[in-house]
């Protein structure tokens, strides 16, 4: 369980790692998505020590962001910050609004291609998590080399 704990922390909150000897090289799939690590932590949460659970539980919650917009398709709510370390920086040197709009275009375009053109099923609903029934996307600046996590 320690190995899984430290891999999760490396993906979600590397600043919490006080002992660099626990760092492992993340796999390509962990860097792209992190889904396997997050899912394994959720499934095994009760197996971790109380101390580790106290660290893990808040990291599994949805982030609290400063603002959000709905994509033109009406399918996605994109959450982001307008100040601080998580200000969107998709396009270096561009405004926050431009960065967010580029992410929004990419999300709507990807959805249209995968669902409308290729015929893949829609993503599962999250109910009213995130404040409504839209599919939530959180823009968070990840440590170098990481794409994101689901």
Phi, psi at 135, each rounded to 5°? -80, 120
DSSP letters spanning 120-134:
PPPPPP-TTGGGSSS
74 and 45 within one domain: no
Structural domains in the chain (count) = 2
Q: Which two tokens stand for residue 149?
A: 């996590």
Cα-Cα-Cα-Cα torsion 92, 136, 40, 22, nearest 10 degrees, comes to 30
Per-residue pLDDT of the chain (150 residues; tens, 9 = 90+): 888 898 888 877 877 877 655 556 766 666 667 778 888 999 999 999 999 999 999 999 888 999 999 999 999 999 999 999 888 887 788 899 999 999 999 999 999 999 999 999 998 888 888 888 999 999 988 765 666 666
Write the Ramachandran bin of 10: left for phi over 0, alpha for psi from -120 to 50, otherwise beta.
alpha
Strand order through the sheet with 76-80: 67-70, 76-80, 135-138
Q: Is residue 144 assigned to a domain?
A: no
Does the predicted model carry a pTM greater than 0.75? yes
- The whole-angstrom separation of Cα 126 and Cα 56 is 21
Q: Is residue 145 assigned to a domain?
A: no
**Domain residues for 13?**
2-60
Q: Which two tokens stand for residue 89?
A: 């920086």
133 and 72 within one domain: yes
pLDDT of residue 28: 67
């Amino acid at each position: 369980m320690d190995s899984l704990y430290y891999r999760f922390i490396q993906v979600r909150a590397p600043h919490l790692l006080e002992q660099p000897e626990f760092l492992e090289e993340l796999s390509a799939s962990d860097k792209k998505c992190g889904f396997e690590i997050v899912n394994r932590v959720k499934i095994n949460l009760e197996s971790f020590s109380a101390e580790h659970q106290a660290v893990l539980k808040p990291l599994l919650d949805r982030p609290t962001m400063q603002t959000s917009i709905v994509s033109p398709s009406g399918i996605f709510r994109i959450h982001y910050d307008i100040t601080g370390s998580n200000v969107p920086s998709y396009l270096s040197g561009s405004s926050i609004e431009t960065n967010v709009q580029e992410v929004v275009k990419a999300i709507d375009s990807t959805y249209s291609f995968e669902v409308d053109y290729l015929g893949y099923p829609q993503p599962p609903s999250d109910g009213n998590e995130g404040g409504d029934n839209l599919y939530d996307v959180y823009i968070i600046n990840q440590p170098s080399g990481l794409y994101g996590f689901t």
